[in-house]
Amino acid sequence: MGTKTKDLWVLLETNEDGTAKNVGIELLNPGRRLADKQGGKLVSVVIGCHTDAAVKEAGVHGADQIIVVDGEEFRRYTTDAYTAALAHLLKKHAPTSMLIGATPNGRDLGPRLSCRLGTGLTADCTALDIDEASGNIAWTRPAFGGNLMAVILCPDHRPQLGTVRPGVFKKPDVCEDRAEIIREDFHVPADQIRTTLLETIREASAEIVDLEGADIIVSGGRGVGGAEGFRVIRELADVLGGTVGASRAAVDEGWISHSHQVGQTGKTVGPKLYIACGISGAIQHLAGMSSSDVIVAINKDFDAPIFGIADYGFVGNLFEIVPLLTDEIKKAKA
């Protein structure tokens, strides 16, 4: 598919009530930088039902233009409806590139869209840039089980498509809303939507852990030694008003549920403060938390890789250091 513009598009996912999901707003941040380098506009694409709130969010977070598809058939995500709508828009406007959040919906939509348009897709990206030599987007993603980071270019086909992990980028600052709004009258007949959501069931025992939205995360790794070892992690998280995270090693051992996992096979996070306790710092874990504003590492191994990216480090036994930190914070708050 050819291109008509140098614009970069960002898909803004919506909730059933028409509000915006965080990941789409986050992607406006790198989207602004890439669009400027490409010499095009930053365009937010909003698909949903009663989407005024999401459209406003896109405008005040820096989109130059907002393309809106609004209809009852888009209230809940379906592969058929969303693929049809986006494929129609991309063929009509022909931008050079598009960012999609690597959410469950985005991971379903991205491959279907790339096949429909005959272009490539780079999935699960953790960094984005422009390749100076070719002008293509340089998509960075973990490869070979997370043991290295691959940079992928799509030189021959357009649009360039990629899914990007939630939590990798910060939301852009709020600014004056100057976005041009384009409302597309596009609808998908009911007989072309082959799936229907009958009921949403949440497991009563399932723990709700909002790692991606947390400002403070205290994580435990293999060094906590067992499920009981997470008691001191939880105490520090509680006194800080934070959330408990974990490395894959701790989750694989069954010490804590997968909903707490940070890293390549868990959640990608970018809190204001990340405290890593007993975590060595394998590349798979670093890929999920290295964009944190401040990183504090607590580990008895002076040579642990986690100290290479930490802003502050404590070398010693976490079961001595973490309780001391908790007590000092309690005193300061009192």
Nearest to 85 by CA among 25, 13, 7, 2: 13
Residues 6+ apart with CB under 8 A from 59: 66, 177, 178, 179, 181
| 54 marked ligand binding residue | no
| 192 marked ligand binding residue | no
| 285 marked ligand binding residue | yes
| 265 marked ligand binding residue | yes
Residues 6+ apart with CB under 8 A from 298: 275, 276, 277, 278, 313, 314, 316, 318, 321, 322
| 222 marked ligand binding residue | yes
| 19 marked ligand binding residue | no
| 299 marked ligand binding residue | yes
CB 334 within 8 A of CB 328: no
| 282 marked ligand binding residue | yes
Nearest to 78 by CA among 198, 202, 212: 198
Query: What is the arrangement of strands in the sheet containing 243-246, beginning at the earlier edge strand?
Result: 243-246, 216-220, 273-277, 294-299, 312-315
| 160 marked ligand binding residue | no
| 264 marked ligand binding residue | yes
Crossing angle for the helix pair 52-60 and 22-38, to the nearest 10 degrees: 40
| 283 marked ligand binding residue | yes
Sign of CA dihedral 174, 13, 92, 138: positive
Residue numbers belonging to the annotated binding site for FAD: 222, 247-248, 261-265, 278-285, 299
Residue numbers belonging to the annotated binding site: 222, 247-248, 261-265, 278-285, 299
